[in-house]
Amino acid sequence: MAAGIITGTELSAETETALERAVASHRHEALFSERAHNIKQSAVRDVFDISIRPGLVSLAGGSPSLTGLPLDLVAQTASKVITEHGMEALHYGGGKGTEELRALICEIMAEEGILGASPEDVVVTTGSQSAQDIAAKVFCNPGDVVLVEDPTYVGALNTFEAYQVQVEAVRMDGNGLIPEDLEARIAELEAAGKTIKLLYTIPSFNNPSGITMAAERRQRVVDIAREHNILVLEDNPYGMLRFDGKPLAPLRADNPDDVIYCGSFSKIFSPGVRLGWALVPRHLYRRFYLAAEAVVLCPSTLTQLIVTEFFRRFDWRAYLAESRAVYAQRCEAMLSALAAEFPAEATWTTPDGGFFVWVTLPEGIDTYPLLHEAIDAGVVFIPGAAFTSSDEPSNRLRLAFSGVAPEQIREGVKRLAPVVRRAVEQHAGA
Amino acid sequence: MAAGIITGTELSAETETALERAVASHRHEALFSERAHNIKQSAVRDVFDISIRPGLVSLAGGSPSLTGLPLDLVAQTASKVITEHGMEALHYGGGKGTEELRALICEIMAEEGILGASPEDVVVTTGSQSAQDIAAKVFCNPGDVVLVEDPTYVGALNTFEAYQVQVEAVRMDGNGLIPEDLEARIAELEAAGKTIKLLYTIPSFNNPSGITMAAERRQRVVDIAREHNILVLEDNPYGMLRFDGKPLAPLRADNPDDVIYCGSFSKIFSPGVRLGWALVPRHLYRRFYLAAEAVVLCPSTLTQLIVTEFFRRFDWRAYLAESRAVYAQRCEAMLSALAAEFPAEATWTTPDGGFFVWVTLPEGIDTYPLLHEAIDAGVVFIPGAAFTSSDEPSNRLRLAFSGVAPEQIREGVKRLAPVVRRAVEQHAGA
């Protein structure tokens, strides 16, 4: 016992426990894997804990609006599934997900332009983040390169970094990933002897920037990746949420052999069911799904059956149309509030779908310390530095309009504006 | 296009697609990570697909009996949770799991002898297999050693091998892991310069053998691990299912700093909700839960709320008592059928809890080819070779009594007996 080393002293039980723990902690420090040191707290999740404080306006989390969901019908569906199919719903299922859900997923994908996908090529995953985790697991050795957009989804960065990959950012402009930059970056990395395995992209309404890869760039990006034998990992949770209702064809659409496509029920239905999917090139499928199985055995049968049955009973196409209108209205509320409240030195993106607006302040301003001032003012956002793999400070911030009603959005922007204005003035005066 | 290489030939669209895929497949073969080659199909999952064929008696899968569950109450609970707490249930939750579920988990663990555990030390996971995945991720570099019981759970073997660890087996006798063998194995491996990170054990009703680590060995095993700075990863899904109703205190009980404890709702309630947990030493907690978050963001809020509410409304202690009686009866049915039907050359374990009986045939018989004969005879089991990390053939087989009614168990054993008898006779004659 650790306490034994201190002789002639009476120790309280609490002190003894604390001492024992300190000794164990010291002893166990050497046991962590190298990759464990790369696993960081996501800034988004960090702010998630803060943002549920009452009274705060959260422009932080990329939460879908659930207020339009008919809870009674969801409840009825869950009850029916359990009563009528309880022995299946409460049991283990296959590692790929149920056939019925995989068929539904193919219908959903057809709606956004992936035609003729086979349920046999779909793996249902525990949210689409776990599809990214599996992709990294199956393809990346430590030191391999994953190309990402700059900026990109913080959760994917955390997932990749857990596999000790080298994450390399490729620049975007208002039309998304810049093909010339992609080529230049690949050439540089190949010249340096690097092995590039994946290009991770969120082509529609990128998280955090809201930027969309232009239709005319999409095939070019896949072609570049193919020429260099790089797999495209396409993350498309917001694809169906284009405000005008006409989703752009995903990169996967005409490239079944070169793109792993990740979709999710989180933004079009509910994050609480934790169901996403990957549509995997057939020749890569077996390894992909075995890796999924090695982590979770199977996705939740209960939530799979509930989602399948709900989508069968519910006019989800009409619901998506309503959702798009809700998000378009919220986006408009945010854009007009920004125009009314923010100083002229700030600029921002004008997304045509998705959940986010990306604000740029004058260079040299670090938005991270502003977060604390914003919390004091009653509003939260995510500082831009979260969305890059570098440790550089960022003059950008992500504002999510998706989960908050228009009047709250206006209130949040109003609270944030003085914080931003002060930072701009101090910076100009410095 | 791949088809372009064949000049002067008209190719059908199908042939073209097949050719393109073949080219992509060849090109992508080099992209797999080293660990991907270690990810194998689990023999259990393999047989899972076969065992749902109508008419077959499955003694293969370790499925819990769900027939005693009041489906109406589960359905009502799900409906109530969605109607009354839908905005929470269908949303993202925290990465550790809900506070309410973590508090319930502490009550459940208290029931089996882990007293005073704090919800702050619990991480809710997507089944307990994903807790093992996280442990491997956080602690194991490629080449590190994980000690396991021989035999051990095939799913854990698959999970560990995905991290390119060296899995080393320690012998068991009828009282579980042999402490002297554990010490000898550690000495050997340390002498060979190996780094041992984890000792994975299923101390109560080991899967597949049904063997229980004797109470008097438990502290000794933890002490040996501690002396060598090895963390104990205790997997205890069946702990509450001891037939006499008095669970043995888990290794974690008196060793809060040295044991990561994995529990599961799969065997005591339902595998379909995909909820398990890890109780983690406080000084290791942060890294553990961040790694969990990097894979799935959060466990399903919907199934967490359903399980919490159901356990609050339901006399789960009484249900567990009934479950134990059901499993005891099924185990008894299997043991008496084996005694009546199997040849004298076969021996088997007599478990006092859990799901499995482990049968040993005369040395030199490989039970893997017997599986095909058994399927023809209308019964499935899992060949023993699945439960070791070696590629050696095994003269053992796992029979699960948990998911099948007594008359089916008797029928299954009756169908299997001639297959076994033939193998024994041929072996004796050879």
State whether B296 and A126 contact (CB < 8 Å). Answer: yes
Asked if B372 and B288 sit in the same domain, the reply is no
Q: How distant is the Cα of B246 from the closest Cα of chain A, in angstroms?
A: 26
Q: How distant is the Cα of B359 from the closest Cα of chain A, in angstroms?
A: 25
Substitution target from A16, A80, A92, A196 for chain B, most B beta carbons within 10 A: A92
In a domain, A423, yes or no: yes
**β A145-150/A166-173 pair status:** parallel
Crossing angle, helix B71-89 and helix A71-89, to 10 degrees?
Answer: 140
State whether B92 and A272 contact (CB < 8 Å). Answer: yes
Q: What is the mean pLDDT for each group of 10 consecutive residues in chain A (430 residues)? A: 46 78 86 84 67 84 93 98 97 94 98 96 94 95 96 92 92 97 98 97 98 97 97 97 94 97 97 97 94 88 98 96 97 98 98 98 95 93 91 94 97 98 92
Query: Would you list the DSSP string of B98-140?
Result: -HHHHHHHHHHHHHTT-TT--GGGEEEESSHHHHHHHHHHHH-
Q: How distant is the Cα of B400 from the closest Cα of chain A, in angstroms?
A: 15
Calculate the dihedral angle through the C-alpha atoms of A150, A154, A160, A165, rounding to the nearest 10 degrees.
Answer: 50
Q: How far apart are CA B234 and CA B252, in angstroms?
A: 7
State whether A86 and B94 contact (CB < 8 Å). Answer: no
**β-pair partners for B360:** B347, B396
Average of per-residue pLDDT across B252-274: 97
In a domain, B62, yes or no: yes
Q: What is the pLDDT of residue A231?
A: 97
Point out the domain boundary residue: B295, B313, B331.
B313
Q: What is the pLDDT of residue B304?
A: 98
**Please, which residues 155-184 of chain A have a Cβ atom closer than 8 Å to chain B?**
155, 158-159, 162
Substitution target from A71, A96, A195 for chain B, most B beta carbons within 10 A: A71
Calculate the dihedral angle through the C-alpha atoms of B304, A241, A410, A156, rounding to the nearest 10 degrees.
Answer: 60
Q: How distant is the Cα of B369 from the closest Cα of chain A, in angstroms?
A: 23
Average of per-residue pLDDT across B133-141: 94
Asked if B354 and B371 sit in the same domain, the reply is yes
Point out the domain boundary residue: A253, A283, A313.
A313
Q: Does B39 touch chain A (CB under 8 A)?
A: yes
In a domain, B248, yes or no: yes
Domain range for residue B324?
43-69+318-429
Q: What is the largest CA-CA distance in chain A?
A: 79
* Percentage of residues of chain B with pLDDT beyond 90: 80
**Please, which residues 62-121 of chain B have a Cβ atom closer than 8 Å to chain A?**
63, 66-67, 69, 71-72, 74-76, 78-80, 82-83, 86-95
Q: Does B34 touch chain A (CB under 8 A)?
A: yes
Beta strands in B164-267 (DSSP E): 166-173, 176-177, 196-201, 231-235, 259-264
Q: How distant is the Cα of A107 from the closest Cα of chain B, in angstroms?
A: 22
Q: Does B48 touch chain A (CB under 8 A)?
A: yes
Asked if A296 and A387 sit in the same domain, the reply is no
Q: How distant is the Cα of A424 from the closest Cα of chain B, in angstroms?
A: 34
Q: Who among B32, B80, B302 is closest to A272 (CB)?
A: B302
For chain A, the domain total comes to 2
Closest listed residue to residue B329, CA positions, set B417, B408, B214: B408
- At B194, which amino acid appears? K
Asked if A379 and A363 sit in the same domain, the reply is yes
Q: Residue B40 burial by CB count (10 A; 0-12/13-18/19+): exposed, middle or buried?
A: middle
pLDDT value at B389 more than 90: no
Asked if B246 and B348 sit in the same domain, the reply is no
Q: How far apart are CA B392 and CA A231, in angstroms?
A: 37
3-state secondary structure B383-400: EHHHHCCCCCCCCEEEEE
State whether B158 and A299 contact (CB < 8 Å). Answer: no
- Looking at chain A, how many residues does it have? 430
Average of per-residue pLDDT across B365-382: 94
Q: What is the pLDDT of residue A10?
A: 61
Chain A residues with CB inside 8 Å of B13's CB?
Answer: none
Q: Does B129 touch chain A (CB under 8 A)?
A: yes
State whether A274 and B126 contact (CB < 8 Å). Answer: yes
Which domain CATH number covers B400? 3.90.1150.10
Q: How distant is the Cα of B426 from the closest Cα of chain A, in angstroms?
A: 36
State whether B298 and A274 contact (CB < 8 Å). Answer: yes
Q: How far apart are CA B371 and CA B356, in angstroms?
A: 17
Asked if B385 and B309 sit in the same domain, the reply is no
State whether B272 and A91 contact (CB < 8 Å). Answer: yes
| Residue B51 binned pLDDT confidence (cut-offs 50, 70, 90) | low
Q: Does B317 touch chain A (CB under 8 A)?
A: no
Q: What is the largest CA-CA distance in chain B?
A: 79
Q: What is the pLDDT of residue A390?
A: 83
Chain B residues with CB inside 8 Å of A3's CB?
Answer: none
Would you state the structure tokens that stand for residue B219, as one six-digit string? 């502290």
In a domain, A25, yes or no: no
Asked if B270 and B335 sit in the same domain, the reply is no
Chain A residues with CB inside 8 Å of B39's CB?
Answer: 138, 287, 290-291, 294
Give the helix, strand, coil percentages of chain A, each rounded to 5.
50, 15, 35
Chain B residues with CB inside 8 Å of A32's CB?
Answer: 138-139, 287
Chain A residues with CB inside 8 Å of B92's CB?
Answer: 48, 61, 63, 266, 271-272
State whether B71 and A92 contact (CB < 8 Å). Answer: no
Q: Does A214 touch chain B (CB under 8 A)?
A: no
Q: What is the pLDDT of residue A71?
A: 97
In a domain, A164, yes or no: yes
Q: How distant is the Cα of B22 from the closest Cα of chain A, in angstroms?
A: 8
**Please, which residues 328-367 of chain A have a Cβ atom closer than 8 Å to chain B?**
none
pLDDT in tens, B217-238: 999 999 999 999 999 999 999 9
Distances (CA, A) of A208 to A44, A165, A172, A246, A351: 11, 21, 12, 21, 11
Asked if B170 and B235 sit in the same domain, the reply is yes
In a domain, A34, yes or no: no
Q: What is the pLDDT of residue B43?
A: 64
Asked if B139 and B211 sit in the same domain, the reply is yes
Closest listed residue to residue B49, CA positions, set A95, A121, A125: A95
Q: Does B368 touch chain A (CB under 8 A)?
A: no
Asked if B353 and B306 sit in the same domain, the reply is no
pLDDT in tens, B348-357: 999 999 999 9
Q: What is the pLDDT of residue A8?
A: 47
Chain A residues with CB inside 8 Å of B155's CB?
Answer: 294, 297
| Token pair 């995903």 in the structure block, residue | A250
| Token pair 């995989």 in the structure block, residue | A102
B299: nearest CA in chain A? A274
Chain B residues with CB inside 8 Å of A138's CB?
Answer: 32-33, 35-36, 39
In a domain, A149, yes or no: yes
Substitution target from A90, A121, A404 for chain B, most B beta carbons within 10 A: A90
pLDDT value at B8 more than 70: no
Beta strands in A110-201 (DSSP E): 122-125, 145-150, 166-173, 176-177, 196-201
Q: How far apart are CA A363 and CA B126, in angstroms?
A: 43
Distances (CA, A) of A262 to A136, B29, B373: 13, 21, 41
Closest listed residue to residue A168, CA positions, set A144, A202, A190, A145: A145
Q: How distant is the Cα of B207 from the closest Cα of chain A, in angstroms?
A: 16
Chain A residues with CB inside 8 Å of B35's CB?
Answer: 137-138, 141
Chain B residues with CB inside 8 Å of A139's CB?
Answer: 31-33, 36
pLDDT in tens, A103-158: 999 999 999 999 999 999 999 999 899 999 999 999 999 999 999 999 999 989 98
Q: Who among A20, A272, A296 is closest to B127 (CB)?
A: A296
Give the helix, strand, coil percentages of chain B, each rounded to 5.
50, 15, 35
Distances (CA, A) of A118 to A94, A114, A250, A278, A341: 17, 10, 16, 12, 49
Query: Would you list the DSSP string of B26-69?
Result: HHHGGGS-TGGGG----HHHHHHHHHTSTT-EE--S-PPP-TTS
pLDDT value at B4 more than 60: no
Asked if A64 and A78 sit in the same domain, the reply is no
Q: Work out the mean pLDDT of chain B and round it to a whole number.
A: 93
State whether A36 and B137 contact (CB < 8 Å). Answer: yes
Point out the domain boundary residue: B258, B293, B313.
B313
State whether A74 and B95 contact (CB < 8 Å). Answer: no
Asked if A213 and A351 sit in the same domain, the reply is no
DSSP element (H, E) containing A58: strand A57-58
Would you state the structure tokens that stand for residue B426, as one six-digit string? 């041929």
In a domain, B229, yes or no: yes
More confident position, B164 or B210? B210
Whether the upstream peptide bond of residue B208 has omega within 30° of 0, thus cis, is: yes
Which domain CATH number covers B275? 3.40.640.10
B125: nearest CA in chain A? A296
